[in-house]
Structure 1
Amino acid sequence: MTFTTRPTLRGTFGMVSSTHWLASQSAMRILELGGNAFDAAATAGFVLHVVEPHLNGPGGEVPVIIATASDPTPRVLSGQGVAPAGATIEHFRSLGLALIPGSGPLAAAVPGAVDAWLLLLRDHGSLPLRTVLEPAIGYARNGHPLVARVGDTVATVQELFTEHWQTSADLWLQGGQPPRANKLFRNTTYADTLERLLVEAETAGTDRVAQVEKARLTWREGFIAEAIDKFSRLPHRDSSGEDHAGLITGDDLASYQASWEEAATLDWQGHTIAKTGPWGQGPALLQSLAVLDELGDPAALDLAGADAVHTTTEVTKLSYADREAWYGDGEVPLKTLLSPAYAAQRAKLVGPEASAELRPGSPDGRQPLLPSIATGDNHGDATTGEPTVSSDGVTRGDTCHVDVIDQWGNVVSATPSGGWLQSSPTIPSLGFCLGSRLQMFWLEEGLASSLTPGRRPRTTLTPTLVLRDGAPVLACGSPGGDQQDQWQLLFLLRHLVGGEDLQEAIDAPAWHTTSFPSSFYPRTTEPASLVMESRLGTAVRDELTRRGHVVTEADPWSLGRLCAVSREADGVLAAGANPRGMQGYATGR
């Protein structure tokens, strides 16, 4: 085994991996109290809202994939909120907009995360709601040591807060300055919101399920919905440079509920890989794996060499071109897109030189439709996969992740995001803000991801569950926007067919491409781009450049933020977490 930054944890009781140590340890506490993986994951989810507010929040969303001890069939919990009823292409066009803004209330989808976590608890949890919410309430009320990146994020949008989003300035600018790293930060307003939600839930009696259902009803029809409805109507500055009111109403909140659905799956190299449906980008990972199989034995790829970097990059470009042409919350020819015959067609397009074209396929003979911006020569910053924030609140790649496996065989993989502190002004009576996921829709008719009221935006959030012989053996995921499935592809190649253990596969050098339209405003594309950690070396860089890749060398430890938990062949549980950024941690015993 090669050098790793930390050991792969192993034990038999339970394992947790998340993007923040407080969320991981809070989830582990729930396992120690006798809770299951679903109780633990929900606890982590609510804690992440508090301790990673620049990466997710209650006003955001979360897709979850689970398998239970009694039924290993992977199931997807969709906590991706939909476009409000008033979010029509005509409305945005009437405002003179060609793209949905990347920040501000106009870009908000209906919040989905809280209802999803509560639905997970209702259907699969075991502990009282108060036990699950106590850690998040405690950290919000009593404080938690704030990670440095929160203050850095606030600093980038300080002028926006002070000049246009005063409610956010009131919360995040202490004495007129961004919060300091590692100092206690309290959000007592949000603590009050959670406590009030809990108290109202407990009016339903002592039955756990009744309490959870009462909390869900209160969220979508009670004081929280009323506050969101009222605040959303107020115009605020967004990334268009103008002030616009939001579109979410109380009726939108009342009509939305998280839901269960079948996972999209691919049988690959003795495993079954489970992802969300094509309302998320998850099937692009499945397409990439299928095409790699057509190109030869994936185990033969030398993932430290230029050939493997080139091949995986070119395969990714093809999958993401199909994502742009075909994925959305509607009819998608997914069966064909994941078929061996289609993969064989696509594999023929992988040549020895880098492609700078966006080349979607024609499943079932259908002609692809692309947004007009897709072939434009517009450029952005692709130096890292970490969150980038501009002074107007525009963000990319801001996300969290949590994986849990317990002693009984329950497994959860979840990727919470949205509702970032910088995405929209803080709702003063609630202590959190709305998200900006609508920016992933197009304001052009007839596309797979055209803006449509009641539909989910094509999200980048993409947890993964892996089964072997019908039993779940791995849960993993990563923040990183459009890069999430690219980094997971490398991890799966290293772990499932390369034989590397979890931490070794997480620590290994990473790369990605942005040679397709970004999912985030202003939807830039960078033909033939390839971003690689400098650890890959100058010889690899030079060879990739010779093949036509436009190479950007990122810092040696900057790409990928993977979490993973697994069950090994002898039943031992394992976990690993990304060392980059010194924030993600695994725990277990």
Structure 2
Amino acid sequence: MRAQPNPAFVRPATERTRPDLQGTFGMTASTHWLATATAQSVLERGGNAFDAAAAGAFVLHVVEPHLNGPGGDLTAVFATADDPTPVVLVGQGPAPAGATPEHFRAEGLDLVPGAGALAAAVPGAVDAWLLLLRDHGTWELADVLAPAIGYARDGHPVSAGVVRTIGAVADLFRDHWPTSAERWLTGGAPPVTGDVVRNEALASVFDRLVAAGADTDGSGADGGRASRIDAARREWAEGFVATTIDAFVRRPHRHSSGTDHAGVLRAGDLAAFRATTEPATTAEFRGHTIAKTGPWGQGPAMLQTLRMLEPLDDGQLDPSTELGAHTVVEALKLAMADREAFYGDGTVPLDVLLADATVAERRALIGDTASAEFRPGHMPGLDPVLPPLRTSYDVAGAAGVGEPTVPGARAAASSPDDDTAAEVPVEDRGEPFVAPDGDTRGDTCHIDVVDRWGNMVSATPSGGWLQSSPTIPELGFCLGTRLQMTWLEDGTASTLRPGERPRTTLTPTLVLRDGVPVMALGSPGGDQQDQWQLLFLLRWIVGGYTPQQAIDAPALHTTSFPGSFWPRTWEPAGVVVEDRLGDAVIAGLEARGHVVTRAGDWSLGRLSCVTRDPETGVLGAAANSRGAQGYAAGR
């Protein structure tokens, strides 16, 4: 698996910010050093990759509360040492029974808000981790949860990203969400980076899950580890967590629409949900099998893109060149248009979308200039209802019109001396963009683990971030807003339907070679997750970059499709680039008609990965340096 540099690809000016880690014992990479250290410590004490990933993920609930929480969701792709077949862990909960388009319209809404409990799907993350732990882990739940309980009860130094997020929504907390103000503001002010913060309520929730699995002599209902974990799952879904959520969300509170609404999530919705597993969706690319979620996630859009790009000359696949960046972006636009037209929790014609004939037809639409059109494909016998295309959005009663801007991000100027370019929306700059109303884009965290036996997992927990809805004081966390990824218009592939999963952006990846897993990878970033992972795979598989080089290389993404996050707008022909892509490449993209936004030198993407060479047993790991928070560890 040693990288073989491809002369058709531009070699990175910065080889790597960190070393590519290698060893034979175990490797972990995540978006926060405490989660990485926790997961690695589990491997060191004899746990397997699934024990380690679960322990690290529960720590992420505590230390990255602006990116995920127990009230959120989870998607993972994994394979075991005994069976290399990739499997998807489904921790995406469905829409509650009361979440109907008619209810939202009766509330005066034509979009699902981006903040507020009315947008909450059934929380799925906790049950999904418990299912993975029960079926494939080896540790007791008490041991897996101990690090998270410790960081919640005894405290941990709060990161700069958490502080920035709290600061962005401090007025919302003070004016409308008093329970969040009590949880996150000290003396009415946000914490300072490095302050030790605690969450006793969350620690108590985890304690009660552990206690649910123990009888009077501590051996569990039938003395079995699996039964103890199942008891914790029942306690989560049917016990105090469910009843507390039910009671709290009935109180109206401010949403990102600028209006007040009560939530519709009920205890019965939680009781009816259990996480599941299902076969991964796969496609072949240059001798590798890429494993993703089904089309209830956005993962197959990356498979479509890879299929379009596979037969092209290597020089057309290098994102560091004008031709390569243009080609990749145009292919992505087509795949993401198909995502909007066809993807959802119902019947999706993936066999047709990934078929040779369809892929060839879509590939032929990639021209020499940038398309500013929304161009989904045409499936035989299927006439999809397309979502509305919004380039701005009037929010009655809310400050401002249109999509919020990210300070410092500017449309590419016509000349280096032109300082008149206006600020424009940018989806993700390494940390989430958070508007004062709680609307968030670029959320999420990620963790990858591989152990010495060959177990491998890539997981992307998300949702339930502290700014998504008011904190439930008895629980120490809030609910997610995944329903914002559904439409209220009738007949679309992702129309809001009670009991169905919203089409999620969560999209971890497993890569296999000759039927054996060789890499787990993923990234935060909403709609950008698969776009940034695509750049990584092109550079690693085709360009011969090492994993760390591929992570560090300049990133870009397109915004020329309806966003998954409220207010669901798009930028025709929009491309966001890191300045390190180079003035000549950026100018070339503009000459082709791309509307380019410069996002800074080190701003886009927070990928991480772990690797395994089946022939030698050598393991590897790499993590993103952007944001100074993600780390890899191993030996």
- TM-score using structure 1 length: 0.98
Provide the rounded CA distance (Å) in 1 between the counterparts of 2:276 and 2:365.
38
Provide the rounded CA distance (Å) in 2 between the counterparts of 1:213 and 1:566.
32
1:9-408 aligned at under 5 Å gives the runs 9-203=21-215, 204-205=220-221, 206-294=223-311, 296-298=312-314, 301-373=317-389, 381=405, 382-383=425-426, 385-386=428-429, 387-408=432-453
AA partner of residue 353 (structure 1): T
Provide the rounded CA distance (Å) in 1 between the counterparts of 2:151 and 2:117.
27
**Which of 496, 514, 519 pairs up with 1:474?**
519
Q: CA deviation at 1:332?
A: 0.3
Whether contact under 8 Å (2:315, 2:324) holds in the other structure is no
Per-residue CA deviations over 1:228-268 (Å, capped at 9, x if unaligned) read 11111111110111111101111000000101111110011
Whether contact under 8 Å (1:384, 1:554) holds in the other structure is no
Provide the rounded CA distance (Å) in 2 between the counterparts of 1:300 and 1:14.
36
Whether contact under 8 Å (1:384, 1:558) holds in the other structure is no
Q: CA RMSD in A?
A: 1.3
Q: CA deviation at 1:398?
A: 0.5
Per-residue CA deviations over 1:394-425 (Å, capped at 9, x if unaligned) read 00110000000000010000000000000000
AA partner of residue 296 (structure 2): W
Q: Extract unaligned runs of 5+ from structure 1.
A: none
Whether contact under 8 Å (1:299, 1:493) holds in the other structure is no
**Which of 619, 623, 626 pairs up with 1:573?**
619
- TM-score using structure 2 length: 0.91
Per-residue CA deviations over 1:134-186 (Å, capped at 9, x if unaligned) read 00000000111111111111111111111111000001001111011012111
Whether contact under 8 Å (1:111, 1:435) holds in the other structure is yes
AA partner of residue 124 (structure 1): H
Provide the rounded CA distance (Å) in 2 between the counterparts of 1:52 and 1:267.
34
Provide the rounded CA distance (Å) in 2 between the counterparts of 1:342 and 1:557.
36
Q: CA deviation at 1:375?
A: 7.8
Whether contact under 8 Å (1:379, 1:525) holds in the other structure is no
Q: CA deviation at 1:536?
A: 1.0
Per-residue CA deviations over 1:200-244 (Å, capped at 9, x if unaligned) read 222335421111000000000011111111111111110111111
AA partner of residue 338 (structure 1): L
Q: CA deviation at 1:380?
A: 5.6
Per-residue CA deviations over 1:267-322 (Å, capped at 9, x if unaligned) read 1111110000000000000000000024x134663332111110000000000000
- Alignment-derived partner of residue 629 in structure 2: 583
**SS at 1:428 equivalent:** coil
Q: Extract unaligned runs of 5+ from structure 2.
A: 1-10, 394-401, 406-424
AA partner of residue 348 (structure 2): V
AA partner of residue 365 (structure 2): L
Q: What is the total number of aligned residue pairs between the two structures?
A: 588
Whether contact under 8 Å (1:279, 1:328) holds in the other structure is yes
Residues 298 and 290 of structure 1: is their aligned pair in 2 closer, same or farther, counting only changes over 3 Å?
farther
Provide the rounded CA distance (Å) in 2 between the counterparts of 1:405 and 1:274.
16
- Alignment-derived partner of residue 451 in structure 1: 496
Q: CA deviation at 1:379?
A: 5.8
Provide the rounded CA distance (Å) in 2 between the counterparts of 1:298 and 1:384.
29
**SS at 1:202 equivalent:** coil
Whether contact under 8 Å (1:475, 1:564) holds in the other structure is yes
Whether contact under 8 Å (1:352, 1:547) holds in the other structure is yes
1:494-509 aligned at under 5 Å gives the runs 494-509=539-554
**SS at 1:373 equivalent:** coil
Provide the rounded CA distance (Å) in 1 between the counterparts of 2:211 and 2:466.
26
Provide the rounded CA distance (Å) in 2 between the counterparts of 1:340 and 1:51.
45
Provide the rounded CA distance (Å) in 2 between the counterparts of 1:527 and 1:210.
53
Whether contact under 8 Å (1:461, 1:481) holds in the other structure is yes
Residues 300 and 100 of structure 1: is their aligned pair in 2 closer, same or farther, counting only changes over 3 Å?
closer
Whether contact under 8 Å (1:298, 1:493) holds in the other structure is no
Whether contact under 8 Å (2:391, 2:571) holds in the other structure is no
AA partner of residue 398 (structure 1): D
Whether contact under 8 Å (1:110, 1:253) holds in the other structure is yes
Provide the rounded CA distance (Å) in 2 between the counterparts of 1:502 and 1:78.
27
Q: CA deviation at 1:570?
A: 2.3
Whether contact under 8 Å (1:374, 1:516) holds in the other structure is no
**SS at 1:63 equivalent:** strand
Q: CA deviation at 1:383?
A: 3.0
Provide the rounded CA distance (Å) in 2 between the counterparts of 1:521 and 1:427.
23
Whether contact under 8 Å (1:327, 1:458) holds in the other structure is yes
Provide the rounded CA distance (Å) in 2 between the counterparts of 1:90 and 1:49.
33
Provide the rounded CA distance (Å) in 1 between the counterparts of 2:319 and 2:341.
29
Whether contact under 8 Å (1:380, 1:524) holds in the other structure is no
Provide the rounded CA distance (Å) in 2 between the counterparts of 1:86 and 1:459.
20
AA partner of residue 181 (structure 1): T
Provide the rounded CA distance (Å) in 2 between the counterparts of 1:162 and 1:519.
28
Provide the rounded CA distance (Å) in 2 between the counterparts of 1:549 and 1:298.
22
**Which of 439, 455, 466 pairs up with 1:421?**
466
Q: CA deviation at 1:369?
A: 2.2
AA partner of residue 583 (structure 1): Q
**SS at 2:297 equivalent:** coil
Whether contact under 8 Å (2:86, 2:279) holds in the other structure is yes
1:7 matched to 2:19? The reply is yes
Provide the rounded CA distance (Å) in 2 between the counterparts of 1:506 and 1:239.
34
Per-residue CA deviations over 1:442-490 (Å, capped at 9, x if unaligned) read 0011000000000011110000001100100000000000000000000
1:508-523 aligned at under 5 Å gives the runs 508-523=553-568
